[in-house]
Amino acid sequence: MSLTEQIQSDLKEALKSKNEAVVSTLRLLQAVMKNAEIAKMREKLTEEEIEKLIKTEIKKRREAVENYRQGGRPELADKEEGEVKILEKYLPEQMGEAEIEKIILKVIAEVKPTGPQDFGKVMKAVTAEVKGRADGKTVSELIKKKLII
């Protein structure tokens, strides 16, 4: 089952079970996907493009959570966190920090960085290795720890 079909199926289930949080999140996701299709002047998006859109939506919500927490609005932050959990279900399984660190160490051995100025080279190589199975922010933080920036 394709990602688009899975989202549509889950939306139908949420409508039947009257799960408002899932319904609103998936409808918003479908709107974002439709807008991307229109922008690209194509009828269907690839699985990769859909995953990228979902990651963008998750990133927006995580930023909103931080802003709501700083603004003293925990109820809105909790709502956004719930939406993040719903959206994460449609992404491939994320790697743990231990797995990411192994890849970072392997890449550092290959690239042989001379200092913090080589952060970009290491980041590019690690990102190519994890291919969307790890959050860029987490990867960046782990690389900085290893390169002691």
Over residues 31-66, the pLDDT tens digits come to 999 999 999 998 899 988 999 899 999 999 999 999
Average pLDDT over residues 7-28: 95
What b/e sequence results for 54-66 when a residue is b if at least 16 CB atoms lie within 10 Å of its CB, and e otherwise? bbebbeebeebbe
CA distance 147 to 49: 32
pLDDT at 83 over 80: yes
pLDDT at 115 over 80: no
pTM: 0.75
Q: Closest Cα to residue 135, out of 56, 80, 31, 44?
A: 56
CA distance 125 to 111: 8
Could you tell me what percent of the chain has a pLDDT over 90?
50
CA distance 144 to 73: 32
Spell out the domains of the chain, with CATH numbers in brackets.
3-88 (1.10.1510.10), 97-147 (1.10.10.410)
Read off the DSSP letter of residue 92. Answer: P
CA distance 27 to 12: 11
Instruction: State residue 122's pLDDT score.
Output: 87
Cα distances (angstroms) measured from residue 103 to each of 82, 92, 94, 97, 113: 31, 18, 14, 10, 15
CA distance 115 to 119: 8
